[in-house]
Copies of this chain bind each other. A is one copy, B any other.
Amino acid sequence: MVALKKASDAPGLDLTAETPVPEMGPDDVLIRIVKAGICGTDRHIYEWDAWSRRRIKIGTTIGHEFVGVIAAVGADVQTVQVGQRVSGEGHIGCNRCEACRTGMAHVCDNVRIIGIDRDGTFAGYMSLPERNVWPIHASIPDNYAAIMDPLGNAVHTVMAANVSGRTVLVSGVGIIGLMAVPVARAAGASRVIAVDVNAARLDLARRLGADECLSAREEDWPERVKKLTDGRGVHVVLEMSGAQPAIRGSLEAMRNGGTMAVLGLPSGDVSLDLARHLIFKGATFLGINGRRMFETWYQMESLLLSGRVNLDPIITHVIPLKDYRRGFELMQAGEAIKVILEIG
């Protein structure tokens, strides 16, 4: 089968057509991949940055977003069938630690992630444990199903922060921040404010439903957020940037008693004024990782079926797998938001 791999200790990826179809255990499902989104993480691996070099074993097939069709099932599989259209949770918990046994598998101590710790979705086929498979409702189109992994990040963040009837600041409108805008609206936010350094992204945020969009290049943006919210600041910050100035500015723009849900990964340590921004504010910081299994998936389905979450403006390119280099180049050039690869 075809597979896009990190074949050597160097930038770039290799597309091969001679990879064997993955083996399956009795509890696994073999999925023929139809479409797969490119994630920022994939770009890090493509560019072969310090994190990738530490984490990725040479020879790994990358990619972790996908929609596909079940091609075969292991001997003990009971809940899904050949021919079903599916996506799936790429965090594979160990199923035995306290986190896995208490509905918290998204923070499993021993998690393995497809496309990072084991072969992923930029391939003709992928094997996945039955318990990680998510059947796709007939009303959800392939292009949405192919990006449920990052959509799930956005939904997990929004739902953890409890936005219903509250004002929300989305700090950083990269792909997940952009998704968080319509998700927060659909989930009941009374007002959504976006902040970013990138004007084009802010325009897109506005089209996706942000009530106000502020440039992080203007230093007084936290004051402007406060002015837009009775002088007190937002109830909720969804931190999607990972950038220290954005985090500090957002905390300045958050009212006392507020909640900051943090998904954006900083590249190093972050210096915080805990007295001012956490303690005296009586604030709550929530670390958000992956998606809740499978509460987030049910919430995604529910939100998508409600018709209130339009992701079309985000999906800017759908291209064949063989053109993957162009996909990464479009991302690097800032011309693409979400690129989906057509595979099978």
Residues of A participating in the B interface, judged by any CB pair closer than 8 Å: 25-27, 75-76, 78-79, 95-99, 101-104, 106-109, 131, 155, 159, 162-167, 186-191, 230, 232, 247, 255-257, 262-263, 265-266, 269-275, 277-289, 292-295, 298-299, 302-303, 305-306, 308
In the complex, besides A97-B232, A106-B282, A280-B289, 7 extra interface pairs with C-beta distance below 8 angstroms are A102-B294, A155-B165, A164-B187, A164-B188, A165-B299, A262-B274, A279-B287
> Which B residues lie within 8 Å of A103 (CB)?
102-104, 295
The reply to whether B281 and A284 form a contact with Cβ atoms under 8 Å apart is no
The reply to whether A281 and B272 form a contact with Cβ atoms under 8 Å apart is no
- Minimum distance in angstroms from A248 CB to a CB of chain B: 9
> Which B residues lie within 8 Å of A79 (CB)?
95-96
> CA separation between A288 and B165, bound complex, in Å?
18
Looking across the interface, which residue of chain B has its beta carbon closest to that of A275?
B265
> CA separation between A288 and B284, bound complex, in Å?
9
Per a CB cutoff under 8 Å, which of B27, B256, B270, B294 touches A107?
Answer: B256
The reply to whether A76 and B76 form a contact with Cβ atoms under 8 Å apart is yes
The reply to whether B285 and A284 form a contact with Cβ atoms under 8 Å apart is yes
Looking across the interface, which residue of chain B has its beta carbon closest to that of A270?
B274
Looking across the interface, which residue of chain B has its beta carbon closest to that of A106?
B282
> Which B residues lie within 8 Å of A102 (CB)?
103, 292, 294-295, 298
> Which B residues lie within 8 Å of A283 (CB)?
286-287
The reply to whether A188 and B190 form a contact with Cβ atoms under 8 Å apart is no
> CA separation between A250 and B202, bound complex, in Å?
38
> Which B residues lie within 8 Å of A288 (CB)?
279, 282
> CA separation between A274 and B277, bound complex, in Å?
15
- Minimum distance in angstroms from A281 CB to a CB of chain B: 6
The reply to whether A104 and B190 form a contact with Cβ atoms under 8 Å apart is no
Q: Provided the pairs A96-B78, A166-B302, A272-B272 are in contact, do residues A256 and B109 lie with their beta carbons within 8 angstroms?
A: yes
Q: Provided the pairs A102-B298, A164-B163, A282-B104 are in contact, do residues A190 and B303 lie with their beta carbons within 8 angstroms?
A: yes
- Minimum distance in angstroms from A264 CB to a CB of chain B: 8
- Minimum distance in angstroms from A246 CB to a CB of chain B: 12
Q: List 10 A–B pairs whose Cβ atoms lie within 8 Å, in order of A's numbering.
A: A26-B76, A98-B232, A102-B295, A103-B103, A104-B257, A108-B256, A188-B189, A191-B302, A263-B279, A285-B285
Ranked 8 nearest A-B pairs via Cβ: A103-B103, A188-B188, A278-B287, A107-B256, A107-B282, A285-B285, A190-B302, A187-B188
